[in-house]
């Protein structure tokens, strides 16, 4: 296969963009040119798909989204004009995010610190890394059914509703939240680990050379250094939690309304009860689910998208301020 003809050396002064491109690509093999074109096309296509999705959801969603919808509670019913709003799923989504990330962050940051800064014995550190990779690759529905089998044991009865005959229902905010943390954990762990590995060793040595212990070095030097990366990992993890459906359906119960437990403890009743999130609401109200309120499904889907996008903006804004300001 011959190469494309090279432009003549008598080039015009200040060649145009197209001419320059032709000259640059002139010496390429055809295979490379095809691959180059395909790569371009793939990129453009993905951008188009993303924009189309956003536009579709925005047009569909905005037309049904209203203040009334997001501030009123859902009602059971067949006619979608009478089934209320999406307040409960919104609350459910935020509670899921909060519990999940609150559990995942200390675990992820802690294990990353141990693996990178201590990591002895080496085989154990490698085992921890592999284990987290396995968790990262685990479909959330697998996590969910495993979690359900676990929390239906009587040992964990306190965390959810127990039926008259003593059967443990297993579905609650606490149980789903802990399962959700497994989705966010690898992201927090990975971001922290990568960041710690890029902190130059002379930074650690500078602290040791001042007579500081490893613990103090980690607390005062390393953690502030990787703070923004931890934030990024958290934001990614929160996005993943907000978007997960399998765990909500299996471990949260995906009940239309928030259903706090009815026990003597008013504080924990909410967390031991069931609820739904925007994802399960979208599923149940889509033509695939039983609710059959597609308008509300679009509105809820768009709202979910907004939450995730805003979450990312909020985190990057906070991080930016943290980097500029004095470290505390």
Partner 1 sequence: MPTTFPPPVRRITLDRTPTVVDPSVEPIRHTPVDRAHERGDQRERMTIDDLVVKYAGKPAVKGVTLPIRDQEVLALIGPSGCGKSTLLRTLNRLTELTPGATYEGRIALDGQDVRALPVTQLRRKVSMVFQQPNPFPMSIFDNVAYAVKEQSKRAPKKSALMPKVESALRRAGLWDEVASDLDRPALRLSGGQQQRLCIARALAVEPEVMLMDEPCSALDPKSTMVIEELIRELRKSLSVVIVTHNLAQARRVGDHVAFMYLGDLVEYAPAEQLFTDPRAERTREYVSGSFG
Binding site for partner 1 (CB under 8 A): 200-213, 216, 220-221, 224-225, 323-327
Q: By C-beta, is 204 or 296 nearer to partner 1?
A: 204
Q: Are 250 and 145 in contact (CB under 8 A)?
A: yes
Taking the complex as a whole, the smallest distance from the CB of residue 207 to partner 1 amounts, in Å, to 7
Q: By C-beta, is 209 or 267 nearer to partner 1?
A: 209
Taking the complex as a whole, the smallest distance from the CB of residue 128 to partner 1 amounts, in Å, to 16
Taking the complex as a whole, the smallest distance from the CB of residue 130 to partner 1 amounts, in Å, to 18
End-to-end CA separation in angstroms for the chain: 63
Q: Are 63 and 301 in contact (CB under 8 A)?
A: no
Q: By C-beta, is 134 or 318 nearer to partner 1?
A: 318
Taking the complex as a whole, the smallest distance from the CB of residue 46 to partner 1 amounts, in Å, to 36
Q: By C-beta, is 32 or 323 nearer to partner 1?
A: 323
Taking the complex as a whole, the smallest distance from the CB of residue 119 to partner 1 amounts, in Å, to 9
* Radius of gyration of the chain from its Cα atoms, rounded to whole angstroms: 26
Taking the complex as a whole, the smallest distance from the CB of residue 312 to partner 1 amounts, in Å, to 23
Q: By C-beta, is 204 or 257 nearer to partner 1?
A: 204
Taking the complex as a whole, the smallest distance from the CB of residue 326 to partner 1 amounts, in Å, to 4
Distance of alpha carbon 267 from alpha carbon 270, whole angstroms: 7
Distance of alpha carbon 157 from alpha carbon 154, whole angstroms: 5
Burial of 72 (0-12, 13-18, 19+ CB in 10 A): middle
Q: By C-beta, is 66 or 213 nearer to partner 1?
A: 213
Q: By C-beta, is 288 or 327 nearer to partner 1?
A: 327
């Amino acid at each position: 296969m011959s190469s494309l003809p090279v432009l003549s050396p008598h080039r015009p002064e200040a060649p145009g963009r197209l001419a320059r491109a032709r000259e640059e690509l002139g010496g390429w093999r055809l295979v490379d040119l095809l691959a180059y074109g395909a790569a371009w096309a793939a990129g453009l296509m993905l951008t188009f798909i993303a924009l189309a999705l956003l536009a579709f959801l925005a047009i569909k969603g905005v037309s049904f989204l209203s203040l009334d919808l997001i501030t009123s509670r859902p009602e059971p019913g067949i006619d979608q004009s009478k089934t209320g709003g999406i307040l409960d799923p919104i609350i459910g989504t935020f509670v899921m995010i909060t519990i999940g990330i609150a559990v995942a962050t200390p675990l992820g940051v802690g294990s990353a610190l141990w693996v990178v800064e201590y990591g002895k014995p080496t085989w154990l550190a490698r085992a921890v890394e592999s284990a987290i990779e396995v968790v990262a690759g685990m479909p959330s529905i697998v996590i969910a059914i495993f979690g359900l089998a676990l929390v239906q044991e009587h040992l964990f009865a306190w965390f959810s509703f127990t039926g008259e005959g003593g059967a443990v229902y297993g579905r609650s905010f606490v149980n789903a939240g802990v399962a959700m943390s497994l989705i966010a954990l690898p992201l927090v762990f990975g971001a922290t680990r990568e960041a710690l590995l890029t902190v130059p060793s002379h930074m650690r040595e500078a602290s040791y050379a001042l007579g500081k212990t490893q613990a103090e070095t980690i607390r005062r030097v390393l953690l502030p250094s990787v703070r923004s990366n931890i934030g990024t990992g958290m934001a990614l993890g929160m996005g993943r939690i907000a978007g997960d459906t399998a765990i909500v359906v299996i471990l949260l119960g995906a009940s239309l309304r928030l259903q706090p437990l009815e026990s003597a403890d008013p504080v924990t009743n909410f967390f031991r009860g069931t609820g739904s999130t925007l994802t399960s609401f979208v599923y149940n109200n889509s033509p695939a689910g039983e609710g059959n309120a597609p308008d509300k499904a679009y509105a809820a889907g768009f709202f979910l998208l907004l939450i995730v996008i805003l979450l990312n903006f909020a985190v990057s804004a906070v991080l930016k301020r943290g980097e500029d300001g004095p470290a505390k």
